[in-house]
């Protein structure tokens, strides 16, 4: 599972100040400062802090969902969601052919779209600890949207040669995403097809987001109707390679 460390989901829990001898159940107040959304297929970092209780006495668990949570540091946790569907077991009342009532367990599949995170505190002395539920906060589970690449805000079609020369690079972005994510281009090939030319040109290669000087020189000589093929685009973030929604772009000079 790739760590998705740039997502920032903050879960701030405030409660009554407690000490080791506290016997009453604390009341927690949850204040979400960002959209309460978790993404499938990536590491979702969240932060949990409780006023008045040391971090070593705080634990978190997933409730009513198919997901995992683990502590990775002080007040820091990672939530992983994979499945879109989860199974629950329900007890069904039924009657057999002789009219005898009985109960049976039945598995039911439901959408895994709501993720509950329970925050607990260990209250009391070492000899007699009590695990107290402070709060439950619910998050919406969404599919991660693959990043897409563009040149001059377009992913293909007609393009002005002057705009290409002013913006000689590939940009990468994630649309409809709730948090900023940084990606980098590591490789792409560019080939050209000119009207009336029967000879196949070898590809030009760049190992960054930028067009090479050779690519720019070739673009300067293009005419209306000539085509540019940008293929084999590779991208990565700090956790490694990422899959692009559109690793190929085709442009026609207008």
pLDDT at 97 over 50: yes
Query: Using CA atoms, how far apart are residues 92 and 224, in angstroms rounded to an integer?
Result: 70
Query: Using CA atoms, how far apart are residues 83 and 141, in angstroms rounded to an integer?
Result: 10
Mean pLDDT across the stretch 146-152?
92
Domains of the chain by residue range: 9-83+111-143, 148-253
CB 2 within 8 Å of CB 43:
yes
The pLDDT assigned to 23 comes to: 47
The pLDDT assigned to 194 comes to: 84
Mean pLDDT across the stretch 155-183?
87
Cα dist from 125 to 20, 58, 150, 173, whole Å:
6, 15, 60, 52
Q: Mind spelling out the 3-state secondary structure of the chain?
A: CCECCCCCEEEEEEECCCCCCCCCCCCEEEEECCCCEEEECCEEEEEEEECCCCHHHEEEEEECCCCEEEEEECCEEEEECCCCEEEEEEEEEEECCCCCEEEEEEEEEEECCEEEEEEEEEEECCCCEEEEEEEEEEEEEEECCCCEEEECCECCEEECHHHHHHCCECEEECCCCCCCCCCEEEEEEEEEECCCCCCCCCCEEECCCECCHHHHHHHHCCCCCCEEEEEEEEEEECCEEECCCCCCEEEEEC
Mean pLDDT across the stretch 20-30?
48
pLDDT at 244 over 80: yes
The pLDDT assigned to 249 comes to: 96
| CB-count exposure of residue 182 (10 Å: 0-12, 13-18, 19+) | exposed
Across the strands, what pairs with 204? 190
Could you read off the pLDDT of 102-125 as tens digits, one per residue?
787 888 787 888 899 999 998 765
The answer to whether domain 9-83+111-143 has CATH 2.60.40 is yes
Residues above pLDDT 70, as percent of the chain: 80
Report the candidate in 24, 14, 40, 195 with the shortest Cα–Cα distance to residue 123: 24
Please report which confidence band the pLDDT of residue 28 belongs to, taking 50, 70 and 90 as the band edges: low
Please report which confidence band the pLDDT of residue 133 belongs to, taking 50, 70 and 90 as the band edges: very high
pLDDT at 96 over 60: yes
The pLDDT assigned to 161 comes to: 94
Report the candidate in 19, 27, 26, 25 with the shortest Cα–Cα distance to residue 124: 19
The pLDDT assigned to 25 comes to: 54
The pLDDT assigned to 21 comes to: 39
Mean pLDDT across the stretch 136-164?
91
Is the whole-model pTM more than 0.75?
no
The pLDDT assigned to 208 comes to: 96
- Computed over every residue of the chain, the mean pLDDT equals 81
Please report which confidence band the pLDDT of residue 7 belongs to, taking 50, 70 and 90 as the band edges: very low
């Amino acid at each position: 599972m790739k760590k998705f460390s740039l997502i920032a989901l903050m879960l701030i829990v405030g409660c009554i100040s407690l000490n080791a001898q506290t016997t009453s159940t604390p009341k927690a107040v949850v204040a979400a400062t960002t959209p309460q959304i978790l993404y499938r297929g990536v590491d979702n970092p969240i932060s949990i802090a409780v006023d008045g209780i040391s971090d070593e006495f705080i634990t978190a668990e997933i409730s009513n969902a198919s997901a995992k949570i683990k502590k990775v540091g002080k007040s820091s946790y990672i939530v992983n969601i994979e499945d879109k569907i989860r199974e629950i077991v329900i007890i069904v009342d039924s009657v057999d052919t002789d009219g005898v009532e009985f109960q049976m367990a039945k598995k039911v599949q439901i959408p895994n779209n709501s993720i509950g995170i329970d925050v607990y505190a260990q209250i009391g002395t070492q000899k007699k600890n009590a695990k107290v539920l402070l709060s439950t906060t619910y998050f919406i589970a969404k599919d991660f949207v693959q990043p897409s690449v563009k040149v001059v805000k377009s992913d293909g079609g007609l393009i002005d040669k002057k705009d290409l020369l002013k913006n000689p690079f590939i940009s990468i972005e994630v649309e409809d995403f709730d948090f900023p994510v940084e990606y980098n281009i590591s490789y792409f090939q560019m080939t050209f097809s000119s009207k009336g030319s029967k000879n196949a040109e070898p590809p030009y290669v760049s190992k960054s987001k930028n067009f090479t000087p050779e690519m720019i020189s070739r673009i300067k000589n293009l005419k209306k109707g000539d085509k540019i093929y940008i293929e084999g685009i590779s991208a990565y973030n700090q956790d490694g390679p990422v899959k692009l929604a559109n690793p190929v772009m085709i442009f026609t000079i207008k």
